[in-house]
């Protein structure tokens, strides 16, 4: 919904990340159910566990750094992106092996791997918090960073407990910390959405003429920028409305000028609504 309404790619990436985390939780929940009942899913269970957990781990591993770079408006080089893909493939393979190799070694390796990926995400976001100009979004990201740090420490403690003699068998298949992390993060995101995301609907009623959009090849994001220019928003205010930095707004405006052949906002307004 957020992506469809505001065109912010970070919302799309966040949705994909949450879906991948949900896949992992579904696998663990089904496995616990399988262990606690007399039902026997047989060979299908192995394919289900292996496939879903591998896909969930792989996507989650790729989306964490991608989202961290996205929300801080930082560029990702092709080399770093290739490294992210290789890391995601590796974690996907390890996630699949967790389901076919017995014992506690692979679950521990996968947990440590995911903790490492989240630590990498924190290292991306923390030094770039100052680039997030919107105070609401900056507060949310700072809160999430602290949550990740606390949960990483808790996950390491859980690994130790999981490998203690006499630890319950379900500990190998179900991460209490992971479930708590999933629900706490979800509650924070939903609260943020309800308090902030849907407030900014009163100043978005201006619609660009279709002829103007088609003639100059204006993108959906550029339409949002122009709409707010028409309403008299400053670059900073536009950035706060769209959850992007002022620098990104300036870049969009520059491309709009290039497409339309104007040199300033007044000429752009006159082009949209020619003076009579």
Q: How confident is the model at residue 274 (pLDDT cuts 50, 70, 90)?
A: confident
Q: Is 42 left (phi over 0), alpha (psi -120 to 50) or beta?
A: left
Predicted local distance difference test score (pLDDT) of residue 202 = 46
Domain 210-272: CATH architecture, name and number where available: Orthogonal Bundle (1.10)
Of 245, 184, 242, whose CA–CA distance to 21 is shortest? 184
pLDDT in tens, 164-206: 777 766 666 667 787 788 788 878 877 776 666 555 444 445 6
C-alpha distance from residue 229 to each of 78, 91, 125, 198, 258 (Å)? 34, 45, 30, 20, 16
CB crowding 160-171: b at 16 or more within 10 Å, else e: eebeeeeeeeeb
Percent pLDDT > 70 in the chain is: 82
Does residue 5 carry a pLDDT above 70? no
What is d(CA 4, CA 2) in angstroms, rounded to the nearest whole number?
5
Let me know: does 200 contact 136? Beta carbons within 8 Å.
Answer: no
Instruction: Give me the residue spans of the domains in the chain.
Output: 2-197, 210-272
The pTM assigned to this predicted structure is 0.64
Q: How confident is the model at residue 30 (pLDDT cuts 50, 70, 90)?
A: confident
How high does pLDDT run on average in the chain? 80
**Contacts of 37 by beta carbon, 8 Å cutoff, 6+ apart:** none
């Amino acid at each position: 919904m957020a992506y469809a309404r505001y065109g912010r790619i970070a919302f799309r990436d966040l949705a994909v990340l949450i879906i991948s985390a949900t896949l992992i939780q579904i696998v663990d929940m089904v496995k616990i159910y399988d262990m606690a009942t007399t039902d026997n899913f047989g060979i299908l269970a192995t394919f289900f566990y292996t496939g879903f957990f591998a896909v969930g781990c792989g996507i989650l591993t790729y989306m964490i750094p991608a989202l961290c770079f996205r929300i801080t408006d930082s560029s990702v080089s092709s080399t770093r992106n290739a490294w992210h893909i290789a890391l995601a493939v590796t974690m996907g393979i390890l996630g699949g092996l967790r389901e076919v190799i017995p014992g506690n070694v692979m679950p521990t390796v996968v947990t440590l791997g995911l903790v490492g990926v989240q630590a990498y995400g924190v290292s991306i976001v923390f030094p770039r918090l100052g680039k997030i100009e919107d105070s609401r979004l900056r507060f949310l990201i700072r809160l999430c960073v602290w949550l990740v740090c606390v949960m990483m420490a808790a996950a390491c403690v859980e690994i130790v407990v999981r490998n203690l003699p006499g630890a319950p068998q379900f500990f190998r298949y179900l991460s209490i910390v992971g479930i708590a992390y999933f629900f706490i993060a979800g509650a924070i995101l939903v609260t943020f959405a309800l308090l902030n995301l849907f407030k900014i609907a009163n100043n978005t009623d201006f619609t660009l003429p279709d002829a103007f959009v088609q003639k100059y090849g204006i993108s959906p994001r550029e339409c949002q920028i122009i709409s707010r220019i028409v309403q008299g928003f400053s670059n900073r205010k536009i950035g706060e409305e769209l959850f992007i930095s002022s620098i990104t707004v300036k870049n969009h405006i520059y491309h709009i000028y290039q497409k339309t052949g104007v040199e300033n906002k007044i000429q752009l307004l006159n082009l949209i609504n020619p003076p009579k």
